[in-house]
């Protein structure tokens, strides 16, 4: 039997893009909120724009004002996967509701929506049908990742903690089938597994102590995934260590950080508010840890 599976070329990728529709507005939902942040608390910097429509997709980095060189630095990324809503809105809400309380005590760097085209089409992939969260390495080509990496390098900062905000939802079953098709692969047993509850992904086993504290706090907000294995990795207390990929946002950030993590919230059985509060509980726990509390 011949194997007729082959990866998508430029035509199939374009056909995929032509099937996508704009479902919501990055300007209305995200840029408006960034621009409304209190000027006394934050500096907003544009670090680039998506090349296929720079007017529509400017990229923003938001930093604490009155930078205190003696205080810890925490970096938070949202919307590396644009369809994972609470990654974007959880980051925005933390900036609006909680970050000002740490003025002068913790320095923040926020990237609230790394992949705004994906936010608008409500999908994982960028306009070239690439997953930005597999391109955070030197040979990566997704511009969402390249632009973020260039900005982070230019900041010349050391981060005391790096938090990347994500969700794992039931749609991921269909999106995995789509990814297998794009990459010329057969669907595998286990592709339809979805962890039903919050879990944390770590770039290094060294990050486990903070991760366990995060789980304790998030458990007060939303259920933690109790599975003994998550996505093929042994899980303990809802935590898995993915130290073998090296292509994720968390892997890139961890090079500049004492500790890193990726949140994965299960939004199917809880409200948007609960998802956002779980994201915020994660950030807050990391922030307090950097302050030694
Ligand atoms: Zn994600």
Render pLDDT for 118-142 as a digit per residue (tens, 0 to 9): 999 999 999 999 999 999 999 999 9
Which of the four pLDDT bands, split at 50, 70 and 90, describes residue 104? Answer: very high
Query: Does residue 3 have a pLDDT over 90?
Result: no
Q: Report yes or no on 100 lying in a domain.
A: yes
Render pLDDT for 270-281 as a digit per residue (tens, 0 to 9): 999 999 999 999
Q: Report yes or no on 54 lying in a domain.
A: yes
Q: Report yes or no on 3 lying in a domain.
A: no
Q: Report yes or no on 1 lying in a domain.
A: no
Query: Does residue 205 have a pLDDT over 90?
Result: yes
Q: Report yes or no on 243 lying in a domain.
A: yes
Mean pLDDT of the chain: 97
Interval between CA 159 and ligand 1 midpoint (Å)? 21
Q: Model-level pTM? A: 0.97
Which of the four pLDDT bands, split at 50, 70 and 90, describes residue 99? Answer: very high
Query: Does residue 255 have a pLDDT over 80?
Result: yes
Interval between CA 268 and ligand 1 midpoint (Å)? 15
Percent of the chain with pLDDT over 70: 99
Render pLDDT for 165-192 as a digit per residue (tens, 0 to 9): 999 999 999 999 999 999 999 999 999 9
Which of the four pLDDT bands, split at 50, 70 and 90, describes residue 1? Answer: very low
Q: Report yes or no on 193 lying in a domain.
A: yes
Task: Work out how many domains the chain is built from and give that number.
Answer: 1
**Average pLDDT for residues 68-88, to the nearest whole number?**
98
**Average pLDDT for residues 155-164, to the nearest whole number?**
98
Query: Which structural domain, as residue segments, surrounds residue 230?
Result: 10-290
Q: Report yes or no on 4 lying in a domain.
A: no
Interval between CA 166 and ligand 1 midpoint (Å)? 4
Query: Does residue 250 have a pLDDT over 80?
Result: yes
Query: Does residue 2 have a pLDDT over 60?
Result: no
**Average pLDDT for residues 85-106, to the nearest whole number?**
98
Q: What residues pair up with 161 in beta bridges, in sequence order?
A: 74
Interval between CA 158 and ligand 1 midpoint (Å)? 24
Q: What's the CATH number where 71 sits? A: 3.40.630.10
pLDDT of residue 293: 66
Interval between CA 169 and ligand 1 midpoint (Å)? 9
Interval between CA 73 and ligand 1 midpoint (Å)? 23
Which of the four pLDDT bands, split at 50, 70 and 90, describes residue 246? Answer: very high
pLDDT of residue 4: 74
Q: Report yes or no on 221 lying in a domain.
A: yes
Interval between CA 285 and ligand 1 midpoint (Å)? 20
Render pLDDT for 210-220 as a digit per residue (tens, 0 to 9): 999 999 999 99
Say which residue, 226 or 293, is predicted with more confidence.
Answer: 226
């Amino acid at each position: 039997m011949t194997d007729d599976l082959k990866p998508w070329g430029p035509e199939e990728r374009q056909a995929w893009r032509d099937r996508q529709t704009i479902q919501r507005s990055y300007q209305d939902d995200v840029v408006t909120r960034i621009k409304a942040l209190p000027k006394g608390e934050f500096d907003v910097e544009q670090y680039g724009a998506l090349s296929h429509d720079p007017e529509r997709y400017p990229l923003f980095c938001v930093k604490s004002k009155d930078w205190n060189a003696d205080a810890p630095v925490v970096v938070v990324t949202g919307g590396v996967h644009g369809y994972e809503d609470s990654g974007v809105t959880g980051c925005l809400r933390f900036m609006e509701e909680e970050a000002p309380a740490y003025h002068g005590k913790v320095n923040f760097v926020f990237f609230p929506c790394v992949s705004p085209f994906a936010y608008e089409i409500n999908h994982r992939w960028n306009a070239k049908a690439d997953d930005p969260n597999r391109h955070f390495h030197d040979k990566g080509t997704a511009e969402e990742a390249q632009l973020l990496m260039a900005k982070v390098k230019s900041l010349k900062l050391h981060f005391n903690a790096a938090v990347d905000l994500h969700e794992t939802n039931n749609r991921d079953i269909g999106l995995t089938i789509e990814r297998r098709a794009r990459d010329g692969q057969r669907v595998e047993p286990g592709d339809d597994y979805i962890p039903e509850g919050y879990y944390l992904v770590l770039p290094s086993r060294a990050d486990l102590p903070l991760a366990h504290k995060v789980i304790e706090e998030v458990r007060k907000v939303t259920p933690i995934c109790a599975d003994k294995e998550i996505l093929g990795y042994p899980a303990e207390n809802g935590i898995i260590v993915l130290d073998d990929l090296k292509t994720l946002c968390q892997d890139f950030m961890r090079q500049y950080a004492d500790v890193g993590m990726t949140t994965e919230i299960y939004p199917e059985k809880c409200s948007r508010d609960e998802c956002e509060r779980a994201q915020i509980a994660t950030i807050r726990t990391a922030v307090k840890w950097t302050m030694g509390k």
